[in-house]
Structure 1
Amino acid sequence: MTAMLSPIRIGPVEIKEPVILAPMSGVSDLPFRRQVKKYGTGLLVTEMIASQAMIRATRDSLAKARVLDEERPCSVQLAGCEARVMAEAARLNEDLGADIIDINMGCPVKKVVNGFAGSALMRDLRHAAGLIEAVVKAVDVPVTLKMRTGWDHDSRNAPELARIAEDLGVQMLVVHGRTRCQLYRGRADWDFIAEVKAATRLPVIANGDIVTEADAAACLAASGADGVMIGRGTYGRPWFVGQVMHYLRTGETRADPPLAEQLAVILDHYDHMIEHYGPIVGVRMARKHLGWYVKGLPGSAKARDELNKLSDPARVKDRLRAFFGPHVEQAAA
């Protein structure tokens, strides 16, 4: 199989294999990104950071903006609706070491769009343009843009926004193949992403419904995109981005890590979450990840319920070892 992807260069940043971890609120934090990086990724993107919170230097926003050298290249995603505030937040993140600033015009969550941020900006392209221009002028690092196909099916204006973004100096686009009104329902329209690709000379990354290696190849074929971004497909599988990279490079699927290795990943991830958030918040934040990690194994529903009731990190780890132990032994037999 001939490699399906070529490197993308945006400013000084080279994305050698453009298979990218998506920005996911409450998921793609520093502890999770570290696990994904171990197995391979072309680019990491932080959780969405509210620009207003960033310039107030809230503890939460600073934690989200923290980027380690081992993660590079890493993009910091910002959301907001005021050009001045977005520009200032972009400058702050550049100073903190962001390799790329990504503008969020794709988030469909009600509390974001009700604040006229995220995908709500696709309803007012003039305002969106002012925001893009302010961010591009504020920083020396590359600026990218993530969007949906439009607000609803009758206003799928992503190709127009792509042309505006290119004219204003944005250097890469990511398109989630749904409208805002679809939220995460239905199927992502990879074919429509091809219309965005045709509208611009910029690299275009396709996003949405990539949960198998074959999905990634099919998405690239349908969209003509220059790369893929993977979000929910990584739940409980921080190795999945690396598997997709391997498949697109070789045509061969790479097996999931052995269960013993998966347990080691889970325990390491858990330790980093406790370190990052502190024990009280970390235990709570980790529960969804633990549920995803154990999913599909016999007895996982009972184990998940028990894990969700535990508040002591040491007891959580003991329960994980007890749950995985028999499965590891069976796999080795």
Structure 2
Amino acid sequence: MVKIGNIELPEFPLLLAPMEDVSDPPFRRLCKAHGADLMFSEFISSEGLIRDAIKSRQKLDIFDYERPVGIQIFGGDEEAMAMSAKIVEAVNPDLIDINFGCPVKKVVCKGAGAAVLKDIDLMVRLTKAVIDSTNLPVTVKTRLGWDENSINIDEVAERLQDIGVKALSIHGRTRAQLYKGEADWSHIARVKNNPRITMPIFGNGDIDSPEKALEYKNKYGVDGIMIGRAAIGYPWIFNEIKHFLKTGEKLPLPTMQDRIEAARNHLTWAMDWKGDKLGIVETRRHYTNYFKGIANFKEYRQRLVTTDGKEELYKVFDEISDVYSDYEFA
């Protein structure tokens, strides 16, 4: 069993990474149904929360069936981070996570996300401001360092644990790498094997199959794995990994009907949450992944991303179900 504060997770938990414009309640609901053990909101700007920005506030929506669930915040100002932690605590998540890993320019140029990797003293102050203003467990997600010449994750882990951080998720790339190249988990393993480190260490980066999950579990000894991009349009990956770790056998691939059901549920839950118009538009980005690699599917993909009415969309799903009723995935 893995513990984060008073949160009990199963042995070797699988975490859904917080992803901007992806990890919203409908997507999290699907991943939970398919085996995710701990999930996080999309990252939320501390400044946006304080300004009462509508988009930031909406990202605070969590539901009991998701638990345990964390809300992730980011920012570069201590007072704003402390105030936003109090706002977050009011919606009663199970934990607060701080993003010190996002590499995108619009976040980094504000001195937040991965930019904080250039100033560990600031990272410690920002984190302590959050810890001091909440009774919830506080965790952190970060990267190895700013670039390959400044990998500082060892010092980061020790200093964050010393001020009370309850778990650390490490993406095995530097900020300079963005999402290119291969994630280097050897640095994550070194943090995990540091005798001073007692908090759970979760590895993140490049896990896209049950075989790789088992290989990295054995090779690097982490307490659990965080999965991001591989779950987009493929929430089945969580149960596939769990089954493989337990039995050494692979589950059958999701059928065409499984994929249609997931896409349809995703659409329905998105409309329930954000209204028909926004729900329809925001689910479009997922269809390519749900129906990846299917022969002669271009026409249906086009219709899925251009149809505006929900009844018409459900008819497209019914048509796909009929036409591809015998389709088998290799």
TMscore range, shorter length = over 0.9
Aligned to 1:249: 246
C-alpha separation between the residues in 2 aligned to 1:86 and 1:276?
Answer: 27
Task: Answer yes or no: is 1:92 the counterpart of 2:62.
Answer: no
Aligned to 2:131: 136
C-alpha separation between the residues in 1 aligned to 2:153 and 2:164?
Answer: 16
C-alpha separation between the residues in 2 aligned to 1:271 and 1:42?
Answer: 23
Which residue type is aligned with residue 328 of structure 1?
S
Alpha-carbon displacement from aligned partner over 1:206-240 (angstroms, at most 9, x marks no partner): 00000001111122233221110000111111121
C-alpha separation between the residues in 1 aligned to 2:219 and 2:186?
Answer: 5
Aligned to 1:317: 314
Extract unaligned runs of 5+ from structure 2: none
The match for 2:285 among 285, 288, 297 is 288
Which residue type is aligned with residue 65 of structure 2?
E
Aligned to 2:36: 41
C-alpha separation between the residues in 2 aligned to 1:78 and 1:322?
Answer: 42
Which residue type is aligned with residue 8 of structure 1?
V
Q: CA deviation at 1:281?
A: 2.1
Aligned to 1:277: 274
C-alpha separation between the residues in 1 aligned to 2:204 and 2:306?
Answer: 35
Task: Answer yes or no: is 1:215 the counterpart of 2:209.
Answer: no
Q: CA deviation at 1:278?
A: 2.1
Q: CA deviation at 1:255?
A: 2.0
Count of paired positions: 326
Counterparts of residues 297-312 of structure 1 (less than 5 Å): 297-312=294-309
Residue 85 of structure 1 aligns to a residue in which SS?
helix
Extract unaligned runs of 5+ from structure 1: 1-6
Counterparts of residues 1-333 of structure 1 (less than 5 Å): 7-17=1-11, 18-199=13-194, 200-330=197-327
Q: CA deviation at 1:330?
A: 4.3
C-alpha separation between the residues in 2 aligned to 1:249 and 1:121?
Answer: 39
Alpha-carbon displacement from aligned partner over 1:148-203 (angstroms, at most 9, x marks no partner): 01110000111111011000100100000000010000001011211222342221
C-alpha separation between the residues in 1 aligned to 2:259 and 2:303?
Answer: 20
Q: CA deviation at 1:249?
A: 2.6
Contact 2:256/2:327 (8 A) holds in 1: no
C-alpha separation between the residues in 2 aligned to 1:125 and 1:197?
Answer: 19
Alpha-carbon displacement from aligned partner over 1:239-265 (angstroms, at most 9, x marks no partner): 211221222233222223332232122
Which residue type is aligned with residue 14 of structure 1?
E
C-alpha separation between the residues in 2 aligned to 1:180 and 1:330?
Answer: 41
Percent identity (aligned): 37
Contact 1:45/1:77 (8 A) holds in 2: yes
Contact 2:288/2:301 (8 A) holds in 1: yes
C-alpha separation between the residues in 1 aligned to 2:43 and 2:181?
Answer: 24
CA RMSD across the alignment:
1.6
C-alpha separation between the residues in 2 aligned to 1:249 and 1:81?
Answer: 42
Contact 2:3/2:200 (8 A) holds in 1: no
Contact 1:46/1:64 (8 A) holds in 2: yes
Contact 1:192/1:223 (8 A) holds in 2: no
C-alpha separation between the residues in 1 aligned to 2:315 and 2:97?
Answer: 39
Contact 2:259/2:291 (8 A) holds in 1: no
Which residue type is aligned with residue 215 of structure 1?
K
Contact 1:206/1:220 (8 A) holds in 2: no
Contact 1:174/1:205 (8 A) holds in 2: yes
C-alpha separation between the residues in 1 aligned to 2:192 and 2:33?
Answer: 31
Which residue type is aligned with residue 237 of structure 1?
Y
C-alpha separation between the residues in 2 aligned to 1:66 and 1:330?
Answer: 37
C-alpha separation between the residues in 2 aligned to 1:38 and 1:256?
Answer: 16
C-alpha separation between the residues in 1 aligned to 2:36 and 2:9?
Answer: 9
Which moves more between the two structures, 106-115 or 247-256?
247-256
Which residue type is aligned with residue 256 of structure 1?
L
Contact 2:192/2:201 (8 A) holds in 1: yes
Contact 1:148/1:178 (8 A) holds in 2: yes
Which residue type is aligned with residue 16 of structure 1?
P
Alpha carbons of 1:301 and 1:58: their partners in 2 closer, same or farther (altered >3 Å)?
A: same
C-alpha separation between the residues in 2 aligned to 1:160 and 1:221?
Answer: 24
Contact 1:191/1:222 (8 A) holds in 2: no
